[in-house]
């Protein structure tokens, strides 16, 4: 393309440009911008009007450049960073020198938009919008802004910049933007739905020139609470479950929410949960320990809530465990007649170690050795932990026993003394069939045995009867 004039005085030597009022004539409009003027012999009226409004303009030596793009028939004048010696008063004289400058550019040429030092991007840098934090699925608030410069650090205008989401699943709008006169391009970013340090966007110019943006997405508000792991348990009444309860709080996109408050409530079955309230960890999970209640006859329920309308439940079935006892309340050591029901019921109480009554425990009743009948065969403890049964003694006179058993526990044993009933039958024992003289005493006594209606005789005392 020829030579680029880095200094105005160099352009003057080769192209005949002259000083006017001790200043080099140059059209200037801002820092690091290019102003194009149509090819040789033509003057851009807009450029002239713009220059005439600047007032006093200063130029630093070595920072101005006059260039010609002979292919596109355009003259480019690079504006200085610091301005001097241009005022409306000498503008007319300087504009008369414009053909000289154009001739100089035509003779020697210089950088053009097709030149690496001209409009070819060499670097793209982030101006603003990096390292933002916002809620998932929302605009962080600040636009993504980049600046494109050439190999000399000057802005490249009118160049397309592609904004590409590379991680996090968000969107940018618009995805492609042309740089402005300052080499700046910007777009808006809507974050994706994945929380965390997961959001990335790249700004690309010419493919290989890249600037990166990063954002941290916060979870949205709680939208669901769900169990983590098991939801149904079995454990010993009055004991802490081996596995803790765990519930996860998430937003509408399924992102776990750290530090979300969770309230734990026992809804059925008694027992206790600890803590009553807490907060989720970094994974959005809250945990609690559940001490089962003393009810064995129904499902126990605990609820975890993360707000008025967000709740989940856990259930448990309690079984008899260590420390549960079966004790006699009344009905022990009664006396009665064989084959008859005792006057008082047999009553037991099933309790936890701390004395709390166990409701819903199944008690099995039985009489030892066939000595009678206990009814019902099974009964269930009530709210006071007690269960009762009736005992009809067996037909053998003497001490009889009955037991109350809860599976897995030591049974409770009741004793009763059974007496024979009234004599119903006399059985000859000895003395029958003897032979003797009238008026004399027989050698053997007459012996009979009195037996009651159940065939029971009393060895310890005479049975009721007459001779």
Question: Could you tell me if 301 and 284 lie in one domain?
Answer: yes
- Boundary (domain end) residue, out of 319, 335, 358: 319
- Cα 122 from chain centre: 46
Question: Could you tell me if 382 and 406 lie in one domain?
Answer: yes
Residues 6+ apart with CB under 8 A from 304: 225, 227, 245, 247, 262, 263, 264, 286, 288, 311, 312, 313, 314
Question: In terms of C-beta density within 10 A (0-12 exposed, 13-18 middle, 19 or more buried), how is residue 263 classed?
Answer: middle
**Binning pLDDT at 50, 70 and 90, where does residue 418 land?**
very high
- Alpha-carbon distance of 365 to 377, in angstroms, equals 5
* pLDDT, tens only, 62-100: 333 444 333 333 334 444 333 333 334 444 444 444 444
Residue 32 lies in a domain: yes
Question: Could you tell me if 169 and 92 lie in one domain?
Answer: no
Residue 114 lies in a domain: no
Residue 409 lies in a domain: yes
State the chain's mean pLDDT as an integer. 79
Residue 266 lies in a domain: yes
Of 89-103, 371-385, 451-465, the least confident = 89-103
Question: Could you tell me if 273 and 341 lie in one domain?
Answer: no
Question: Could you tell me if 329 and 413 lie in one domain?
Answer: yes
Residue 205 lies in a domain: yes
pLDDT at 456: 72
* Average confidence (pLDDT) over 381-403: 95
Half-sphere exposure of 240 (CA within 13 A, CB side): 9
Question: Could you tell me if 242 and 270 lie in one domain?
Answer: yes
Question: Could you tell me if 300 and 373 lie in one domain?
Answer: no
pLDDT at 467: 52
Q: Where residue 289 sits, what CATH number does that domain have?
A: 2.60.40.10
pLDDT at 459: 53
Count of the separate structural domains present in the chain: 5
Question: Could you tell me if 164 and 188 lie in one domain?
Answer: yes
Question: Could you tell me if 432 and 377 lie in one domain?
Answer: no
Residues 6+ apart with CB under 8 A from 129: 140, 142, 143, 144, 145, 186, 189, 213
Whether the predicted pLDDT of 264 surpasses 90: yes
In this prediction the pTM is: 0.64
Residue 2 lies in a domain: no
Residue 113 lies in a domain: no
Question: Could you tell me if 168 and 259 lie in one domain?
Answer: no
pLDDT at 458: 56
- Boundary (domain end) residue, out of 319, 351, 371: 319
Give me the domain span that covers residue 452: 425-467
- Boundary (domain end) residue, out of 256, 288, 319: 319
- Alpha-carbon distance of 300 to 266, in angstroms, equals 8
Question: Could you tell me if 90 and 166 lie in one domain?
Answer: no
* pLDDT, tens only, 299-328: 999 999 999 899 999 999 999 988 899 999
- Torsion sign, CA atoms 76, 80, 85, 86: positive
- Alpha-carbon distance of 32 to 27, in angstroms, equals 13
Question: Could you tell me if 313 and 232 lie in one domain?
Answer: yes
Residue 1 lies in a domain: no
């Amino acid at each position: 393309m020829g030579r680029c004039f880095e200094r105005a005085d160099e352009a003057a030597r080769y192209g005949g440009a002259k000083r006017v009022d001790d200043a080099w004539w140059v059209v200037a409009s801002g820092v690091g911008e290019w102003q194009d003027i149509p090819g040789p012999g033509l003057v851009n009226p807009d450029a002239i009007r713009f220059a005439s409004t600047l007032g006093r303009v200063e130029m630093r030596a070595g920072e101005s450049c006059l260039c010609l793009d002979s292919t596109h028939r355009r003259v480019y004048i690079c504006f200085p960073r610091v301005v001097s010696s241009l005022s409306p008063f000498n503008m007319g004289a300087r504009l008369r020198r414009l053909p000289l400058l154009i001739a100089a550019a035509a003779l020697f040429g210089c950088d053009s938009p097709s030149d690496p030092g001209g409009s070819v991007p060499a670097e793209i840098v982030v101006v603003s919008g990096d390292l933002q934090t916002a809620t998932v699925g929302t605009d962080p608030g600040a636009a993504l802004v980049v600046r494109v410069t050439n190999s000399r650090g000057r802005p490249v205008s009118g160049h397309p910049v592609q904004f590409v989401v590379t991680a996090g699943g968000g969107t940018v709008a618009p995805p492609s933007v042309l740089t402005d006169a300052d080499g700046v391009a910007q777009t808006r970013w809507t974050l994706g739905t994945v929380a965390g340090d997961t959001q990335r966007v790249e700004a690309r110019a010419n493919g290989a020139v890249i600037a990166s943006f990063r954002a941290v997405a916060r979870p949205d508000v709680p939208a669901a609470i769900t169990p983590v792991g098991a939801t149904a348990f079995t454990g010993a009444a009055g004991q802490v479950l081996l596995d803790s309860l765990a519930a996860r709080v998430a937003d509408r996109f399924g992102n776990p929410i750290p530090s979300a408050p969770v309230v734990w409530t026992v809804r059925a079955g008694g027992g206790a949960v600890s803590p009553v309230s807490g907060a989720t960890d970094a994974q959005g999970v809250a945990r609690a320990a559940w001490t089962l209640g003393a009810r064995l006859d129904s499902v126990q329920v605990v609820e975890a809530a993360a707000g008025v309308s967000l709740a989940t439940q856990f259930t448990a079935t309690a079984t008899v465990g260590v420390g549960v006892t079966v004790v006699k309340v009344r009905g022990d050591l009664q006396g009665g007649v064989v084959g008859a029901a005792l006057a008082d019921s047999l009553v037991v109480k099933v309790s936890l170690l701390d004395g709390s009554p166990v409701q819903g425990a199944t008690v099995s009743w039985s009489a030892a050795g066939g000595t009678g009948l206990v009814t019902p065969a099974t009964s269930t403890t009530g709210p006071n932990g007690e269960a009762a049964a009736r005992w009809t003694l067996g037909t053998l006179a003497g001490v009889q026993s009955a037991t109350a058993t809860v599976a897995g526990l030591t049974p409770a044993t009741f004793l009763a003394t059974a007496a024979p009933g009234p004599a119903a039958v006399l059985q000859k024992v000895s003395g029958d069939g003897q032979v003797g003289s009238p008026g004399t005493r027989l050698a053997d006594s007459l012996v009979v045995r009195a037996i009651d209606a159940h065939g029971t005789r009393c060895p310890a005392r005479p049975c009721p009867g007459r001779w």
